Structure 1
Amino acid sequence: MSINVLLVEDDIDLASTVVDYLEIEGISCDHAANGVQGLSLIEANHYQVILLDLNLPRLDGLSVCQKVRASSDDTPILMLTARDSLKDKVAGFDAGTDDYLVKPFEIEELLVRIISLSKRRSGQASTLNVGDLILQLKACTATYAGEPVKLTPITFKLLEKLMREASKPVTRELLMQAIWGEDQPDSNSLKVHIHHLRKQLDKVNASLSIDTKAGFGFVLRKKTS
């Protein structure tokens, strides 16, 4: 799997070293030299991982991180900074970063962390949205075009997984793991909850469907006209 990374770093020498090394390792890396430019690239492109310096001109790293999370973007963020106090690390995690690497760092360690983060989505996003469907993760509520969508705890977890992978088929195994962990019921239970979720989306006239992929799983996507 190809990995596409954004590095937001104002130290040009460090940025050049990181970009060159990652490209040698087969990882595509865009670069922004300030927070405003970084935010613009994030809004315009899809990245597997964002590498974010804390001390940035025009817009600091904490503010960039907060804006990314406020937009429901769940791209994993690795914060790079010379600040190594517990207070600074807590501030970074509160802003929505997923990992923290203190400068100076070994570039091999950076590579390992990028690969690890690229395999998942961030758990730091407070909301998810697919079109007019909005999922508030902390409040455990869902709305479509402002109208509440009634969900049980299980259908909430089911919808969250489908929204995180919107337009991509998700296997039955992954859905059941996301909902029940290792203590899983029989596969018919998943079908029941899929049916319930479809009914709730139909009640609010959502322009979204949960389609069955025969022999594989399910996919949440926009209805075709």
Structure 2
Amino acid sequence: MKNIQKSKTDTFLTQLNYNGSMKILIIEDDIQLNTTITNFLNYKGFETTSVEDGEEALIYIDKNFYDLYIIDINIPKISGLEVLKYIRQKDLTTPIIIITASLELENLKIAYKNGCDEYIKKPFYLEELEIKIDKFCSQSDKKECIKISDNIFYDIDCEELRINEEIKRLRKKEKRLLTILLQNINKTVLTETLENYVWENEIKDSYPLRQLVNDLRKYFDAEGKFIFSEVGIGYRFEVKKS
């Protein structure tokens, strides 16, 4: 089979079962490999969409939500690396697996720098892909609740801020800003990254990031300063280790 190695697939297919709720976008221009991956994941119960070039991929990315992306670096029209960058402009957390040829080490470095989570070198076993996806499935099953202080908690999954057992009503952009900051606790997030994520490429001149940060700070005033700025660079949310 072209670009993919045969192995004990029939045995492996019975080892793991999924509930079918995970949506995966496959971007691969090798039609045979694309079909092989798609059929395999469909058999496993995933909901898959497959495309063959970067231009078509962006259309699907703009119109749909996916739980996982599988992207070949060398695809026509718009490269896999550019698709990766596009996704990360508005989504920092959804897992991305890059498919790469064995000699593309420089591209692999660029891919990791721009936010890919895993990679697979061609040719590969279907089991290898399965194992990597299983890791992401296991991670997504773990609900994440971040302890900010003794009486402040933030539920990443529900985007719910709780202070003194009271749920605070946050606006959509406040939720997105707090989420991205807490996903990068004690790390400075670049202003451009924050703007792209929070505003989702909308026009933001009438409601700048600085104002949104100040609005968010009001929830934490009584508990001390948590959100810090680095002029000309970005913002970070500091949580002291207990």
Pairwise same-fold verdict (TM > 0.5): yes
Overall identity of the aligned pairs, in %: 28
2:110 pairs with one of 91, 100, 115: 91
Distance 1:48 1:154, change over 3 A: farther
Partner of 2:79: 60
1:149 pairs with one of 199, 209, 213: 213
Task: List gaps (5 residues or longer) in structure 2.
Answer: 1-18, 142-170, 182-187, 199-206, 228-238
2:189 pairs with one of 126, 136, 139: 139
1:10 pairs with one of 22, 29, 52: 29
What amino acid is the match of 1:103?
K
Aligned residues: 154
Distance 1:139 1:26, change over 3 A: closer
Task: List gaps (5 residues or longer) in structure 1.
Answer: 122-129, 157-178, 185-225
Per the TM alignment, residue 10 of structure 1 is displaced from its structure 2 partner at its CA by: 0.5
Distance 1:139 1:23, change over 3 A: closer
User: Contact 1:34–1:58 at 8 Å: present in 2 too?
Assistant: yes
Equivalent positions of 1:23-172 (< 5 A) are 23-118=42-137, 119-120=139-140, 131-133=172-174, 135=177, 137=181, 138-139=188-189, 145-146=207-208, 147-150=211-214, 151=217
Per the TM alignment, residue 84 of structure 1 is displaced from its structure 2 partner at its CA by: 3.9
User: Contact 1:76–1:120 at 8 Å: present in 2 too?
Assistant: no
Which whole-Å deviations, capped at 9, do the CAs of 1:28-83 have from their partners, x for residues lacking one? 21101110111111121111110000001110000000111112353110001114
Distance 1:101 1:154, change over 3 A: farther
Per the TM alignment, residue 96 of structure 1 is displaced from its structure 2 partner at its CA by: 1.7
Partner-residue secondary structure (3-state), 1:19 = helix
Distance in 2 (alpha carbons) for counterparts of 1:9 and 1:43: 18
Which whole-Å deviations, capped at 9, do the CAs of 1:107-158 have from their partners, x for residues lacking one? 111011112124349xxxxxxxx743353653377789321424479855xx
Distance in 2 (alpha carbons) for counterparts of 1:92 and 1:154: 35
User: Contact 2:95–2:116 at 8 Å: present in 1 too?
Assistant: yes
What TM-score results when the alignment is normalised by the length of structure 2? 0.55
Distance 1:148 1:132, change over 3 A: closer
Structural RMSD (CA): 3.2
Distance 1:69 1:154, change over 3 A: farther
Distance in 1 (alpha carbons) for counterparts of 2:43 and 2:67: 18
Distance 1:131 1:40, change over 3 A: farther
